[in-house]
Amino acid sequence: MTAEERTRILAHGPLVLFDGVCALCNGSVRFLAPRDRTGKLHFAAMQSEAGQEVLRRHGLPLSDWESFVFLEDGKLHLKSSACLRIIRYMRGAWPMLSALCIVPRGVADWFYDRVARNRYALFGRHEHCLLPSEALRAKFLA
C-alpha cells in the first residue's frame, strides 16, 4: 500500500476500527474480511498508530472503547450504525440485515451496549493485539 493510499483510507475509509485485544472484535474482523464483496474494507486496531490517528482526528477517546468505529466517506459511524453500514459491504445475503436500520437507533444501541460492555467476560480478551494472518495483512493499517 502506498503512502497516498494509506492517507486516503485514514481520511475517508472505508476503515473498520476495532478493539485489538477483544476476542469478539478480532473474530468479527476475521469474519468480515473474506466476505467483503467490494474488496475495499480496511481494518485497524484502535490501539494501532492508524487507529489512534483516526480517533484523535475525530475527537474520540483514545482508550476504553465500547464500540466498533466505521469510517466511510470521511464520516464516522459508531455502535449499531457502524455494524449496519459495514454489512452492506458483505457478499451473499448479509446486506439484507441492513434492513434492521428500521429499529430505532436508541433501541439498537442499547442492545449493542449490553454486548460491548460484557464482551471480555463473554468472549475473552488477549494480552496483546493479534497479528493479522498473511491473507489479511494487506487489508490492515498499522
pLDDT at 83: 86
Asked if residue 69 is part of any domain, the answer here is yes
Asked if residue 139 is part of any domain, the answer here is no
Asked if residue 114 is part of any domain, the answer here is yes
Instruction: Tell me the per-residue pLDDT of 73-132, one tens digit each, with 9 for 90 and over.
Output: 999 999 888 888 898 898 877 666 666 666 687 777 788 777 777 766 766 777 666 666
Asked if residue 142 is part of any domain, the answer here is no
Burial class (CB in 10 A: 0-12, 13-18, 19+), 62: exposed
Asked if residue 42 is part of any domain, the answer here is yes
Asked if residue 20 is part of any domain, the answer here is yes
Asked if residue 141 is part of any domain, the answer here is no
Per-residue burial over 45-55, b if 16 or more Cβ lie within 10 Å, else e, is bbbbebbbebb
The tally of domains found in the chain comes to: 1
Asked if residue 70 is part of any domain, the answer here is yes
DSSP assignments along 17-75, one per residue: EE-TTBHHHHHHHHHHGGGBSSS--EEEETTSHHHHHHHHHTT--SSS--S-EEEETTE
Q: Which domain holds residue 73?
A: 3-133
What distance lies between CA 129 and its chain's CA centroid? 14
- For the cut 80, the answer to whether the pLDDT of residue 34 exceeds it is yes
Give the span between the Cα atoms of 53 and 74, in whole angstroms. 13
Give the span between the Cα atoms of 82 and 16, in whole angstroms. 9
